[in-house]
Chain A
Amino acid sequence: MHQIDCPWCGTRDEAEFQYQGDATVQRPKPDADEETFFRYVYARENPKGWHVEWWHHVAGCRQWIKVVRNTLTHEIDSTGGPQSKLTKPDEKGGTKS
């Protein structure tokens, strides 16, 4: 069972959270064209490996938090608030495999 380190509440069970998908996609500016919005809603990288994603702490502080998690191993590298700039371990210069 995933143990997720909520920046506000500390480490909690995955059962307290609602997963909310890829956190790397950015909502376009309102005047962006339909294609840009299309990619925001539908285009996903779906990586095998590190994935930056949203987990919503619904049974806790109600914060949307960012989690860097490995989709092959379920290992979690880091967590942060909604505006944090988290990077994947394999993009930090190979500190972790």
Chain B
Amino acid sequence: MHYSALSVFLQGLKGHKGWPRMWRDPQPKSHYDVIIIGGGGHGLATAYYLAKEHGITNVAVVEKGWIGGGNVGRNTTIFRSNYMFPANTHFYEKGMKLWEGLERDFNFNAMISQRGVINLFHSDPQRDAFARRGNAMRLAGVDAEFLSPAQLKDMVPILDFENARFPIQGGLMQRRGGTIRHDAVAWGYARGADSRGVDILQNCEVKDIIIEGGAAVGIETSKGTIRANKVAMAVAGHTTHVAKMAGLELPVESHVLQAFVSEGIKPLIDTVVTFGAGHFYISQSDKGGLVFGGDLDGYNSYAQRGNLPMMEHVMAGGMAIMPAIGRVRLLRHWGGIMDMSFDGSPFICKTGIEKLYLNGGWCYGGFKATPASGWCFAHTIAKDEPHKLNEKFTIERFREGRMIDEKGVGPNPWIQ
């Protein structure tokens, strides 16, 4: 059913009895053209673009639990394309363009809100580093601008310009960045893929990847064997372990990143703001909650929960630049599993095993990449070769010494 104000009105008159399921609950077929392991944002987006862009609809998305239950369901909802290296800039900008048309495209309101993303800077070297990045963005056709303290005062009056330990010198802003209702991204892609014939198989755990003659030919699952012409992995948080089923070894470690939301309050912050002298970034959701986060707890973990030191550190960062939020209450905090690659950049690539494709290593940047990732991964699967946009996101780049390290901290995932 097409969603619109009219359909909501008509259904309202009928007591909403006519709304169909957003996606079916099919039994697995014995064979698909493509199996995508992982019903998160990236897996569902990949299925959607396989069907929409490449006409490949005999596709199964296989999910261990419920779709959208991984990082697409527990992030801080930010999207942006403010990267420095061309491999990243072009890729994330593709994502930005897809976000901009996404709701009309898949007929689902994900509340995409281009509220702007501001990175504050607090020193001359930081200003120069941001200038380098901002200029790289502008040269790649991405919007970026510097804001003076006066402009910042206008835009984010809640910031502390007087008593800050690290005075705010300015900010690098991407106006087209912003926030999205994260769950809706998974649901919108799921509904769009399902309506094009993709089978979404929930509560179906993958036990093994079947490899015959050097090529992936199917999977063993809790619902039996499913064979396929091509098998693709998009299992953020568990990439190492699914890849290991096929004998792949990846420069990836899994770490916990915490996120926080406050009780709902009336609008206080209109943009996304990142503190440059501490680990803190913040936005406000349409519901009114302040959504904020910081940095990795800094140890390998699959526990999906973090600990007090990072919490205290993050909120101290918040109070350092926004001392007015002291009396706003933290409502909930949680942790997600980040597949930290050793240079902070992802993989969307072939694997060395025929017909087996990898999408992973997103660190904490996976959510914003969802459309571009799905779009490029679908291309890579359909054509059996990467698109120009993702050709550098290979596993081999580490062996070749061609890392894409935006932060420059080296092969230490806990500080990437």
Stretch with Cβ within 8 A of A (4 or more), from B128-136, B160-168, B222-230, B298-306 = B298-306
A1-B307, A46-B252, A46-B254 known; A71 vs B414 contact (CB < 8 Å): no
Is A53 a contact of B308 with CB atoms below 8 Å? no
Question: A15-B309, A21-B412, A44-B251 in contact; A51/B303 too (CB < 8 A)?
Answer: no
Interface of A is mostly: mixed
Question: Are B411 and A41 in touch, CB under 8 angstroms?
Answer: yes
Q: How far is the CA of A19 from the CA of B413 in the complex (A)?
A: 11
Task: Pick from A14, A38, A69, A72: contact of B307, CB below 8 A.
Answer: A14
Q: Are B307 and A46 in contact (CB under 8 A)?
A: no
Q: Mark A54-74, 1 if CB is under 8 A from B, else 0.
A: 000000000000000101111
Write out the residue numbers on chain B whose beta carbons fall within 8 Å of the beta carbon of A51. 300
Cβ B309 vs Cβ A74 within 8 A: no
Q: State A74–B20 Cα separation when bound (angstroms).
A: 43
Among A38, A41, A46, A71, max chain B CB count under 10 A is at A46
The bracket for how many chain B residues form the interface is 20 to 34
A47-97: which residues lie under 8 A (CB-CB) from chain B?
Answer: 48, 51, 53, 69, 71-74
Closest CB of chain A to B279's CB: distance in Å?
14
Which residues of B lie under 8 Å from residue A41 when comparing CB positions?
411
Q: What's the count of A-B pairs with C-beta under 8 Å? A: 56
Find out whether the CB atom of B398 lies under 8 angstroms from the CB atom of A42: yes
A43, CB-defined interface residue at 8 Å: yes
* Structural contact, A42 and B302, CB atoms closer than 8 A: no
Complex CA distance for A50 and B398, rounded to whole angstroms = 27
Describe B's contact surface by its main secondary structure: mixed
Look across to chain A and name the residue whose beta carbon is closest to the beta carbon of B411. A41
The smallest beta-carbon distance between B23 and chain A, in angstroms, is: 29
Could you say which of A15, A19, A42, A53 contacts B342, with CB atoms under 8 Å apart? Answer: A42
Do A19 and B254 touch across chains, with their CB atoms under 8 A apart?
no
Of A1, A44, A73, A74, the residue contacting B308 (CB under 8 A) is: A1
Docked-complex contact A1 and B251, CB < 8 angstroms: no
Contact between chains at A46 and B240 (CB < 8 Å): yes
A74 & B300 in contact (Cβ 8 Å cutoff): no
Decide if B414 touches A43 in the complex (CB within 8 Å).
no
Query: Is B399 part of the contact surface with A, judged by Cβ < 8 Å?
Result: yes
Task: Decide if B309 touches A19 in the complex (CB within 8 Å).
Answer: no
5 tightest Cβ-Cβ pairs between the two chains A and B? A42-B251, A15-B309, A46-B240, A19-B299, A1-B307
